[in-house]
A and B are shown apart, each in its own frame.
Chain A
Amino acid sequence: MPGFTLSGYTPAPVEEVWKLLFDPTRFPEWWSGVETVHTEGPDRYVMWPDGYPDFPMPQSLRTERGASRVTVSCQVSDIDVVWQLAEAGNGTRIEVRVDLPDAEAHRLASQRRIIAASLDNLTALAAAATP
């Protein structure tokens, strides 16, 4: 299964990053390519990519009994994005692992670009939210 792992650091405390990850309604603020999010329940939401108002992408957001891991799974493409947080000094280290099904292997490079940009946005947004 094709995939990749990226990591980043933000001076924001871990709880600020955690709040952004656990709140899908705020994804459009930092997740590249996500234009709108509509929640359907505590662990399910639908997102619409930028420029595709008629192309809803149902997602599931899952928390696991493992240290601070949030998994976002696309219900259309079967792409799994797993975010993991750890304290690093006063800030937070963020690791993100993306797995694509073989059928989506051709999207590996574009996904890497999107997630890298999202990671940058997330670190910046969390830092800005810190008083």
Chain B
Amino acid sequence: MLRVELLGEFAVARDGVPLTLPHGLARLTAFLALRLGPRQRDQVAGTFWSESPEEAARSSLRTAVWGLRKALGSDAVIATRTAVGFAPDVVRVDVADVETLVAAGDLAGAVALCRGELLPDVAADWADSARRAHHRRHADLLDRLAEAADSRGDGAGAVRWSRIRCELDPLDEVAHVRLLHRLAATGDRSAGLVAGREFARRLRDELGLHPGPALRAAVAELNAAPGVRPPSAVRAFPMFGRSAELAAVTGAWDAARAGHGRIVVVTGEGGIGKTRLVGEVARRASRVGGRVAIGAGLDVGGEAPLAVWHELAAELVAVVPAPPPDAGWPAELGRLAPDLTAGLGRSTVPPPVASPELERLRIFDAVLRLVEWAAAHRPVFLVAEDVHRADRASIALCAHIGRRLARLPVLFLLTRRGRPESPDVDALLADAAGRGTDVLELALGPLPEPDLAAVIRSVVGLPAPDVARVLANADGNPLLAVERARAVAGGHAEPPPSLRVAVRASMGALPRNARELVEALAVAGRGLIPREVAALGLADVAGTEAVALDTDLVQRDRAGLRFRHALLAEAARADLPDPHRRHVQVANAIVAAAGADADRVAAEAARHLTLAGRDDLAGDLWRRAARHARSLGALPEAAGFWLEAVRQAPQDPVPRLELAEVYAWLGRRDDFEREWQDALPHIRADDLALAWHRRGNVMRSVLCHPSEGTAAYQRALDVLPADAPGHLRASVLAGLAQLWSVTGDPDGTEALLTEAERLATDPTPDLVVDLTTARLLLLIRRSRFAELEAAASRGAAAMAAAARPDQAFAGLVTASCGLAAGGAPDAALRLADRALVLTAGVAVLTLPCLAARAHLLARLGRHDEALAAAREQLALAERLDSRRFVAQAQGDAGLVALAAGRPAEAADLLAAALDGPVPDGDAPISRPSTRLARAEALADAGRADDATAELRRAVLEPVGTGDQAWSLVPRMSRIQGRIALARGDRATARRRFTEAIATWRRLTPPTPGDDLMAALVDLGRPPVIGLVEPARELERLHGELAAVQEASCPASP
């Protein structure tokens, strides 16, 4: 198959291998590819050799066609006496693919293929004509998509398509009028006014025209409503110098476009030109059809976790096509910010899950899927600016994405200053490089004087002596040089010695309103969106913005108004006459503008109020910020925000208790205890029971301390007032029942549960989860497996009705394991598969379901399906970047491979599970059992010595109750038999198998329910795979013994 790309950059590939064609052949290929099938030779010759005599032209065409057949393959080229062309069944062209998708009704898919201008580098009439036709086609498709979104009431979608349409034709007035109407219809008047003003300015600057009546009417309509007035334009300066760095980054971009994604890090001091370099590459990437997203976060720190990624995701959401209807990740993305989900045309955000770690993994996976979706049809240029000051969660997500770039058409560029050092970023880069992602590090030094002079001359017209004075002491820093030049051009006798003096000079002459706006932008430390600027309470916002923009200290970009450079903002902040007032003003504005999404900006606003000395106003915001951080799984940030809340209200027990719980999730048990005990004296008598109940929950689930949990629940019952609401008493009893169902007396648990269920007349979702879970665990504990399937189904329905579908799967998986232990693998598989359906698209929840499915299929002898499920589990775990999940999945896959008779593969997987590094403790696998399984795999693979060594390592592993210690001795004897067989020593094999059989017969195994519970406590999950069943072990041993004895008998005569 010959593939020809005419959109964006011209490219030809044969069977996936890129071809390089001489200039003439490339043009002829492009011409013929515009319309597949035979073309008249005379027409082609006349088009390409119009200056030559007819016969000479025909001869040149013959030569060219010969060259084409040789270069592209003779089957691709039609060549008859009168015609020449490309064979439609051999050649595929992207322009033709666009039409195929349009014919199939997939307009969004067709637009996704329009990656840039058609043949942008070919200057010929035929190319111009084709280019215009394709441009019209592209525009028509975008209009149709916007209209379709209009007709189904999808205002956001209509605006999105309309914006892309305007980007395609920046001077098309009709398209802009439609965009303004659509923005007005969605209520975003500020954005409408901005778009209208920018269009009008573009029209004036580039064509010398004024907008027509339709656009003026649309603007007037938007102005009629209260809101923000439009801004001035962005000033873009030409780029000088940096050719080597630019070549390096564009080279990386070219490699990324070809599918070999990579990371580029640009390091340099503030003002040295990092942002300018990024801007230039972004412009080039955009020109060839790339999707560009840039995020920075705050200049001044203290923002919400993942702030950089909120910006990046918002930029990507604005340019990607609508995801498929069955994709689950758009809803998951709403955990980061609901507006992202809305921007993708969805409305629902799934409820939070109990564990912050799972929450974090879900968000990370959703963002990764957004990046993958953005890169599915076009290359992506992703930029995280100034990562040296990014929050830790943002850097962790950068690492998560960075590790997966090697096979994606994504260039991920990070900028940072050289000082202070950023070890988190260094770790990110080392990690990505270690995972196979190419990392290129560039250092931007001082700009050479000739280039710096060119920069200055491009900004202000200064005589040569003045340019020389400006250059002196500018240290090759373009930002400083430009500001010094501006000051001189503005009448200063001498260039200001520092940026601060230059900024002071620019701001000094501003009228009050504009100065106030510029100060607010300096204090904000980031760009302010139009809604936020409007909420600052300034008079004549549009006029004020225009004056502020004239200083060139600030600029407008896609998001809103911002300082042109962080160093300029820093200089402005240093000279603020009344910073406290400005901080309060900005805090109020960003909270007001955020509306229902105010939790996302709460940390930022709280920091402003704290800096303003208004702790009285900041306290509530710190609490909201902490809850938001916790909902993102960003625990260190949540702890920091709760600490602020504690600092501002030391007598209030609520923030201390919340802080204690975050410490518990972080595994900092001593800190948990300290904060909890400090809070205790301040808790009101009426709230004591609730506090003890929450402590019980933490001890039961997070810290896994059953005796402390029991004590806390008992204390809650002791202090519960007689008239306490029934649901609170029921919650305490349910928590206690859940604890006892694992470790306590089953009869007592039954009584507790019955009482809790009686009291729970109107249960909360959490109570439904606790009651259902306790009931399932108790059934397993009592080995009443026959009742499990019905109970799990009832529980799943109850959890779904209580809006906790995320918990429903857990009950199904637990019950599935119970049924497996009870010898009902078919029923167990049904439940595991139902759990899989419930968790589809949410990787972190799908893992245990796949593990259960793999085990059960292996148990039923369906080994190929079991292997497929185990491999899917492993792939998902690797995608999540959780070493613990990966180790668990490797262990599971190893056991499945062993059961499937693939010992070599099993040995490798089990070794990986045992040996891989796991932060924060051991992998959740039974180490002695895993070593025994590996010894068996090695023996079966014929590696007897290695098997013996592994067996020896097994006995030196620590053993806990979850390791099914009772079964280790006979299992070890059996594996010694397998090793003897591998050595060809049948006598020893017989002896070991016999010994194993005798031991199995002697020992008293626990009830399956108790065994499951032990694993649940020790490993955090039931022994989904590797459950030891004595009857099956005996049956297998008898078979193996019989086989050895048969092989030992002399052959019959």
Contact = CB atoms under 8 A, between A and B. Distances in A.
B668 interface: no
B446 interface: no
A65 B960 contact: yes
Given A40-B1004, A42-B1004, A63 B965 contact: yes
B955 to A, nearest CB: 4
Interface string A60-81: 0001111110000000000000
Interface size of A as a range: 20 to 34
Contacts of A66: 958
Contacts of A22: 965, 968-969
B952 A39 contact: no
Given A19-B973, A42-B1004, A43-B965, A14 B956 contact: yes
Contacts of A41: 1004, 1006
A15 B1005 CA distance: 21
Given A22-B968, A63-B960, A42 B955 contact: no
A19 B1003 contact: no
B1002 A25 contact: yes
A19 B958 contact: no
B877 to A, nearest CB: 25
B955 A131 contact: no
Interface string A26-53: 0000000000000111110000000000
B956 A87 contact: yes
Nearest to A13: B952
A15 B960 contact: no
A15 B972 contact: yes
Contacts of A131: 980, 985, 988, 991
Contacts of B961: 43
A66 B957 CA distance: 8
A15 B992 CA distance: 13
A65 B1005 contact: no
A63 B1003 contact: no
Contacts, number: 63
B126 interface: no
A42 B972 contact: no
Contacts of A63: 958-960, 963, 965
A12 B93 CA distance: 74
B66 interface: no
A19 to B, nearest CB: 5
Contacts of B432: none
A25 B1003 contact: yes
B612 interface: no
B999 interface: yes
B819 to A, nearest CB: 22
Contacts of A25: 1002-1003
A102 interface: no
Nearest to B1011: A42
A63 B976 CA distance: 22
A13 B953 CA distance: 11
Contacts of A42: 965-966, 1003-1006
B20 to A, nearest CB: 63
Contacts of A40: 1004
B951 interface: yes
Contacts of B1002: 23, 25, 39
A65 B952 contact: no
A85 B955 CA distance: 9
A100 to B, nearest CB: 25
A62 to B, nearest CB: 9
Contact of B951 (A15, A23, A85): A15
Contacts of A18: 955, 972
A110 to B, nearest CB: 29
B965 A23 contact: no
Contacts of A87: 952, 956
Interface in B950-1004: 951-952, 954-956, 958-961, 963, 965-966, 968-969, 972-973, 976, 980, 985, 988, 991, 999, 1002-1004
14 contacts: A14-B952, A14-B955, A22-B965, A22-B968, A22-B969, A23-B1003, A42-B1004, A42-B1006, A63-B959, A64-B958, A66-B958, A67-B958, A85-B955, A87-B952
7 nearest A-B residue pairs (beta carbon) = A42-B966, A63-B959, A18-B955, A65-B958, A39-B1004, A25-B1002, A15-B955
Interface of A: 13-15, 18-19, 22-23, 25, 39-43, 63-68, 85, 87, 131
Given A13-B952, A23-B999, 17 more contacts: A14-B952, A14-B955, A14-B956, A15-B972, A25-B1003, A41-B1006, A42-B966, A42-B1004, A42-B1006, A43-B965, A43-B966, A63-B963, A65-B960, A67-B958, A68-B955, A85-B956, A87-B952
